[in-house]
Every structure is written in C-alpha cells, then in structure tokens.
Structure 1
Amino acid sequence: MKRIQNALYITKDGAYLHKQRETLLIEQKVEGEKLKLMQLPIHSIGSIFCFGNIMVSPQLLGFCGENGTHLAFFDMHGRFLANVVGKQTGNVLLRRQQFSVTELAATTLAKHIVAAKIRSSRMLLLRFRRNHTATPQIEQAIVRLKQIIEQLSAVTAYDSILGLEGEAAAHYFAAFADMFKGNDNRQLFDKRTRRPPKDPVNAVISLLYSVLAQEISGALQGVGLDPQVGFLHKERPGRNSLALDILEEFRAYIVDSIALKLFNNQTLGAKDFTQDCLGGVTLKDDARKLVFQAYQAKKQEEVMHPYLQEKVQLGLLPHVQAMLLARHLRGDLAHYPPFVIKK
C-alpha cells in the first residue's frame, strides 16, 4: 500500500476495505484471523485505487458514490477494470476540461512532455558514462540533447517541437546502440525499428512500451480522463494518444534501462528470439517470461518523486502522473509537472 497525498493505493492481494464510523478500515485474513492493515479518516481521502483481488463493502461503495470519493479497480498488471465516481468529481466535467484545452495550452503541455523525455534519455546516457567508458557517439549525444532541451524553451510551434523531438531521438538511439557491452550484444541493436521490430532489443522495448502504454491508459481512465485525447500525439481512431503522451516520460527511465540490464547481464541473447520471413523478431515464450519478471521487479523499485517529494513505487508512477494531469486540467495546478529524474 502507498498513500500519496489524498490518494490511497491498495496493492495487498486479498485486502478488504470497509467503512467503520468515519474511518476507512483495511483488513486482511491471515490464517483465519482478521489483521488490521490500516485505519484512517475517510474524509481525508480523495481517491482509492485497488489493484488485484481487493474486496470492498457495499457500505463503502455507497459512501464513495455519495461523497465524491473516487474508487477505481485494476488487475495486478494495471489494466483498468471499473470505477465508482462521486458527483463532485464526475468524469464528464473533467473530460470536458480535457476536450476544451486550447491549442496553445496543448502545445505547451506537449513541449513540457518532450523536454522531460529528452532529459530522461540524456540522464540514462550520463549514468552509463559514469559507470562505463563512453564512446564518441555517447558524448556527442549528451552534448546535443542538452542543446535541444535549451532550444525547446524558446519554441512555440507544434511542428518545431516535433522536429526537435525527432532529432533528439535520432541522437539518443545512435548512442543507445553503444551502451550494449560486447561484440555479440552490439549485433542485437542497430537502430530503432518497429511494426515489426527488426532485432532483439527492439523486440523487447516495443513489447514493454506496449504493456506500459496499456497501464497508463488504465491509470488515465482511473482518474476520469479520456486516454484517446492527447496533446503531443494527435487523435487517431483506435489510438490512446494521451497514454502515448505520458509514456514518453517513462521510455528511457523504465523500459530502456530494463533492456540494457537484460542484455548486458546476458539474461537474454540471440538464442531467445525468432525471426519471421519478413524480418520481424519476436521473443520465445521463456524469454518473454524473463522480460516480464524483470519488468515486475522494476515496478517494485521506489524513487523520490521530484514534484511530490514522496517515495513512490515505479509501478504507481502512471497513476501519480494521471492524478497530477487531472489536477492541472481542473485548474488545481497551474502547470502539469512531467516525471523526470534530475540525478
């Protein structure tokens, strides 16, 4: 369980939530005996997020509906299942705010998200340089990404933001190839390819990007936002554009770092992949399990959130960022703070 400001995250499988007078009581049965996990004033809670096999009493469901306490349910992988939204924080009102964002405000949000993405990419390169010998390609990317971040601050046109993002991605992935140690690993990644991925590293990061995007989509639905209406990624039928926006903040910090660890530690190698007649590369079943195990382990890690100044599990970051974006769109926050680690 993790309490983040007025939002409560329940991740203890088998937990039972019910209302006791003016408090929320969280219990779990252990060897037939009820064990109290937490008890706190229910009126201090704005949102409750339940992950996995969590049971909620009918009285608590009714209280949440009547008093505007947002209650959302997810499976253990973060996929959104259902929610209870009270009349004071209705989804319709929040989505109207989301739909009515001006072009200027949307461009500003897009710029902040892109800047956070580039900072995270550069931070991954800097961390590699501290621990290993940096190649000229890595050194060049570190310098150029810093310049692009500075250029972004003066840019106001949407197309210019996309242009700088594309240039930053080209420099980053050229350097990303140099972070795989050993001659064999260097053959596993050449450049960023997708639909289908053309090499093992692209197969891993494409898979995890997709999984994380689905979790972000569920987190956005959990706070009442429409995951299809984005600011950086334009709307397209069937695409969760807003989820892809938020994904940009986590690509390097979560997914790319997992891929580097898996291949550099030789947990994965060329033997763990197959290639089809069109050149597309996919993971074998056992290798896919290893990737998901590494992903789940990564989600258990804690980090100091740069805006909240609270320790947060990485697996909860999509929900935290969704909450912050919702608060910004409602007018509670002047600016949306994208997630980016500065050290």
Structure 2
Amino acid sequence: MKKLLNTVYVTTEGAALKKDGENLVAEVEGSEKVRVPLHMLASVVAFGPILISPALMGVCAERGITIALLDRMGRFQARIEGPVSGNVLLRRAQYRLADSAEDIVRSLVLGKVANQRAVIRRTLRDYSDDMDAPARAALETATDRMAMILRRVQLSDTSIDEMRGSEGEAANLYFAVFDHLIRSPDPELRWTTRSRRPPLDAMNALLSFLYTLLTHDCRSAAEAVGLDPAVGFLHRDRPGRPSLALDLMEELRAPVADRLALSLVNRRQLRAADFRRVESGAVLLTDDARKLVLTAWQDRKREERLHPFLQEKAPFGLVPYLQAQMLARHLRGDIDAYPPWYWS
C-alpha cells in the first residue's frame, strides 16, 4: 500500500522556505524553525505571503511534491507542480464518461449521503440520553428521510440530474439538524445555516478551512493516479474548478472534516475567542487556532480505518488516494463499478 507522506503547512507571515541539501527548511526572521527531508514530503501548503526559493520550487516540481499557495483566508491562489503524470488513455476514458457516468455519480451520492447519515446516527448513539425530545426527534427524522433518499438513488433508472437533486436534498437535511450535533456552551459556535465565500460565522469558518485542506488532498490524489482533477462526474465542469477533486471529497466531508470540526468544538479545544471577524464581515480562525486545527488535521489523517472494499486498514490520509485509485481502475475496466468509501 502507498506510504502516507507528510504535508507541510506554513502559516507564519513572512516565513521563508528553501532547499538545503535533501531537506526543506523553513525559516522565520532568519532563524530555522523546521527541517523536513524531501523524500518524506507529499506537498507543501503556504498560507499568505510566504517566500519560496526557486531551488525549492524546482526540486519539488522534479520530485512530484506539490506546492499550493492559499491566501490568509484559505482561498486557493495557485499550484506549483511538475509535468502532468498518468496515462493519457486513462484521461481519455475519463473524458468520454464525464457526461454519462450514472454509475459513478450513484456511488458518489450513496457514499456521501450514507456517511452524513452515519455522523448523525453516531451522535444519537453517543448523546441521545442527554438530548431533549425535539432534538432527538429531529435527528431521527433526518436519518429516516436520508434512508429513503438512499433507496431512491439506488434505483437503476435514476438520472444524473435526479441524483444531484437527491444529494442536495440530503445536504439540506443534514445541515438543518447540524446544530444538534454541537455541544459547545459558546453561543457564538452555534449553527444556523451554511455560508461560504465568505463564511459568516465561526462554524462555517472552521468547516470552510477544513474543506480547503480536504480539497487539496483530493486534488493531489487525483493527479497522483493520472486523472484530470478538473473533469468530474457529480460536479459539472466549470473553469477554474477542480470538479473531480470535489467529487472525491464528497464521501469524506462528513466523516473526516465535519467530524473533526465537531470534535474540536465539542471538546472545547476551540472556543469563541479562537475566531475573529474582519471588516468584510467574514469570520476567520485566529493564527493560533489555525495552527491547532492543522495539527489536529494531521493527527486525524494518521488514524486508521478498515477500507470497506479493500478490506485492509488504511489511515484517513490515504483514503483520497485509494478512492482515486479505485476510480482509475473502474475507468480502465479493471473493476465493474466505483466502490464508495463508507465510514462506520
């Protein structure tokens, strides 16, 4: 199985990254802070104004180490990478199926909705006795309706547009009860509705930040197996949008990103003071809180779960790569269908 390599996240404004022998070195005001062997790196993610030496960019491109540049809010700006990898025949198969891949879309939607439902059911299992009756009823109703959506999507004559509608319906159900999953005493961390670009409250800021990290990992996974990250199946093509990366992350949003966000808030590792509002009205994580989240993200990626199709244990951090690999195998005709990743 592929080895889980490291991602270096650089958040200190004005930090400088350079190559020193076979190592990446991060300096702040001329003082070395981090030294990482290049052979242990999968990618580098830089937030805000970070200096990167030409020598480091060159060796990273040569060795397949992606450098992603994000602004201070976590919005994507650019990627630095080497030549396109992968088999051209695989990409041609991907392009041919892009507009008529009902079976792939069905698997993606089933995986996403099932995992959203599993997150709600886990909360009911763990905290049902502490909930009031209306909250418990709302969560139970949501899981029942999601079960109906799963049965509907499984029907062989369901069109792609109908499956997209079912995915949207399930997402509305999920976020309608999301506040019942939050157990923080801080009123500023309560949930109202999904907002993005920009996030308008603390929980949306946390989710958007984690989704940015997950998108990066899924895009890197698609490219690693030779797929075009811009051409998806569930998500329609749009200039500048990594549609396939968004497809791959749909199954992982709830069990990986949402569960981590809820864990950080419910364990009171993040409090209201860890967020700040800027003049535009957007809410952002503070610098210290962002570092805490990045550490927790790396720890979560090392946790292992049994892969339901491969029947092998794999860390969360490898799941995007494994799913991209399963998709590539399906496009090549090696397996009959793309197997969703189900969290349990």
Q: Which residue of 1 is the match for residue 33 of structure 2? A: none
- Deviation (angstroms), 1:72: 7.1
Q: Decide which of 90, 96, 110 is 1:100's aligned counterpart.
A: 96
Contact 2:304 2:314 in 1 (8 A): yes
Q: Which residue of 2 is the match for residue 161 of structure 1? A: 163
Give distance in 2, aligned partners of 1:320 and 1:211. 17
Q: Which residue of 2 is the match for residue 146 of structure 1? A: 147
Q: Which residue of 1 is the match for residue 125 of structure 2? A: 130
1:113 aligns with 2:108: yes
Q: Which residue of 2 is the match for residue 54 of structure 1? A: 39
Distance 1:115 1:215, change over 3 A: same
Contact 1:234 1:241 in 2 (8 A): yes
Contact 2:64 2:81 in 1 (8 A): yes
Identity of aligned residues (%): 42
- Deviation (angstroms), 1:207: 0.8
- Deviation (angstroms), 1:191: 1.4
Distance 1:185 1:112, change over 3 A: farther
Q: Deviations over 1:228-284 (max 9, x none)?
A: 000000111110000000010100010000010111111111111111234211111
Q: Decide which of 67, 74, 99 is 2:65's aligned counterpart.
A: 74
Q: Deviations over 1:179-213 (max 9, x none)?
A: 11144257432111111111111101111111111
1:9 aligns with 2:3: yes
TM-score by length of 2: 0.75
Contact 1:73 1:80 in 2 (8 A): no
- Deviation (angstroms), 1:76: 9.9
Structure 2 gap segments, 5+ residues each: 8-35, 41-61, 69-78
Contact 1:108 1:156 in 2 (8 A): no
One-letter amino acid of the structure 2 residue matched with residue 264 of structure 1:
N
Contact 1:188 1:270 in 2 (8 A): no
Extract structure 1 runs of 4+ deviating beyond 4 A: 79-85
Contact 1:178 1:186 in 2 (8 A): no
Structure 1 gap segments, 5+ residues each: 14-50, 56-70
SS of residue in 1 equivalent to 2:97: coil
Q: Which residue of 2 is the match for residue 230 of structure 1? A: 232
Q: State which drifts further: 185-194 or 227-236.
A: 185-194
Q: Deviations over 1:138-172 (max 9, x none)?
A: 11111111111111112522221121111111111
Q: Deviations over 1:62-84 (max 9, x none)?
A: xxxxxxxxx9733699x884479
- Deviation (angstroms), 1:111: 1.8
TM-score by length of 1: 0.75
Give distance in 2, aligned partners of 1:215 and 1:227. 11
SS of residue in 2 equivalent to 1:100: helix
How many correspondences in the alignment?
279
Contact 1:121 1:253 in 2 (8 A): yes
Q: Decide which of 205, 208, 212 is 1:206's aligned counterpart.
A: 208
Contact 1:188 1:201 in 2 (8 A): yes
Distance 1:10 1:114, change over 3 A: closer
Pick the structure with greater CA Rg.
Answer: 1
Give distance in 2, aligned partners of 1:11 and 1:278. 37
Q: Which residue of 2 is the match for residue 46 of structure 1? A: none
One-letter amino acid of the structure 1 residue matched with residue 143 of structure 2:
I
